[in-house]
Structure 1
Amino acid sequence: MLMSNSARPARLHYLANGFRVIAPGDHVICAVSGGRIAVDALRYWSVARQEPYASAEEAAQAMHGVGARV
């Protein structure tokens, strides 16, 4: 039986030019907003913090320590 990755969070290792899949899934959780980000739509992350962001604005918030963190 084939296993589906839908509704399962992925575990990723974030690199400077991409990411490596540690555990397959269809989404990750934004470190700032707590919202779901489809893995194929993921564009923003921090290598140093190893966390994903839903948008450039949320990435900037995380880098400057602004806004609530989940």
Structure 2
Amino acid sequence: MRAPDMPGLAILRYRAADYQVIRPGRFVICAVSGVEIPLSELAYWSEARQEAYRSAVEATRALAGV
């Protein structure tokens, strides 16, 4: 996993249908795989867990506890 003080790392507050930018940046980190997700490609997240996911595969894994 990446350190939270990485240059370019955005801090977001995930909401049901969108997100709020807390700290601007170019990317967030996938909670499952640890890879960078450019904000322009961010499509999957969990409001309840406040986590971002690279794809539906990672989102499903996180929600299934796999």
Q: Do the structures match in fold with TM over 0.5?
A: yes
Q: CA RMSD in A?
A: 0.7
**Which structure has the larger Rg over C-alpha atoms?**
1
**Unaligned residue ranges in structure 2 (runs of 5+):** 1-6
Give the corresponding residue for 2:65: 65
TM-score (normalised: structure 1):
0.84
The residue aligned with 1:50 is: 50
Where in structure 1 are there 5+ consecutive unaligned residues? Answer: 1-6
Moved runs in structure 1, 4+ residues, more than 3 A? none
CA displacement at 1:40 relative to structure 2: 1.1
Figure out how many residues of one structure are paired with residues of the other and give that number.
Answer: 60
* Percent of aligned positions that are identical: 53
Question: Normalising to structure 2: TM-score of the pair?
Answer: 0.89
